[in-house]
Amino acid sequence: MDRKLIMEALSQVNDPELHRSLTSLNMIQDVVIEGNDVTVTVALTTKGCPMKTTIVRSVEEKLQSLPGIGKVKVNLTEMTAKQKLSLFGSKPTSPIADPNGKTQVIAVASGKGGVGKSTVTVNLAAALKQLGLDIGILDCDIYGFSVPRMLGVENVKPNAVEGRIMPVPAYGMKVISMGNFVSDNSPVIWRGPMLGKVLQQFLTDVYWGEPDVLLLDLPPGTGDMALDVARMIPKSNLLVVTTPEKLAAGVASRAAQMADKTNQRILGVVENMSAFVCPCCGEQTAIFGTDGGKELAEQLNVPLLGQIPLTLEARSFGDQGRPIALADESVTAAAFRTLAQKVAEILRITIAAKQ
Closest CA to 8 of 18, 19, 17, 21: 21
Sign of CA dihedral 345, 298, 113, 244: negative
- Tell me, what amino acid is at 125? A
What's the chain's average pLDDT? 84
Residue 77, SS3? strand
The pLDDT tens digits of the residues spanning 149-188 come to 999 998 888 887 777 888 999 999 999 998 888 766 555 5
Under the banding of pLDDT at 50, 70 and 90, the label for residue 93 is low
Say which DSSP state 16 is in.
T
Residue 112 CA to residue 222 CA, distance in Å, equals 9
The answer to whether the Cα torsion of 89, 90, 96, 102 is positive or negative is negative
Residue boundaries of the structural domains of the chain: 3-88, 104-354
Residues 340 and 333: their CA atoms lie apart, in Å, by 10
Tell me, what's the pLDDT at 25?
A: 87
94 pLDDT more than 70: no
CATH number of the domain located at residue range(s) 104-354 in this protein: 3.40.50.300
Q: Is the pLDDT of residue 355 over 50?
A: no
Q: What is the DSSP string of 157-192?
A: PPEEETTEEEPEEETTEEEEEGGGTSSTTPPP---H
Residue range 284-325, pLDDT digits in tens? 888 887 888 888 888 888 999 999 999 998 888 988 999 999
pLDDT band at 222 (very low <50, low <70, confident <90, very high): low
Distances (CA, A) of 202 to 100, 152, 228: 19, 20, 12
Q: Quote the pLDDT of residue 334.
A: 94
Q: Are 17 and 4 in contact (CB under 8 A)?
A: no
Domain 3-88 bears CATH identifier 3.30.1330.10:
no
How much is the pTM? Answer: 0.76
CA 314 to chain centre: 19
What pLDDT digit, counting tens, does each position of 28-63 carry? 999 999 999 999 999 988 777 778 899 999 999 999
Q: How far apart are CA 285 and CA 116, in angstroms?
A: 18
Handedness of CA 222, 228, 229, 231 (dihedral sign): positive
Q: CA 23 to CA 287: how far, in whole Å?
A: 53
Whether 124 has a pLDDT exceeding 90, the answer reads yes
Q: pLDDT class for 71, splitting at 50, 70, 90?
A: very high
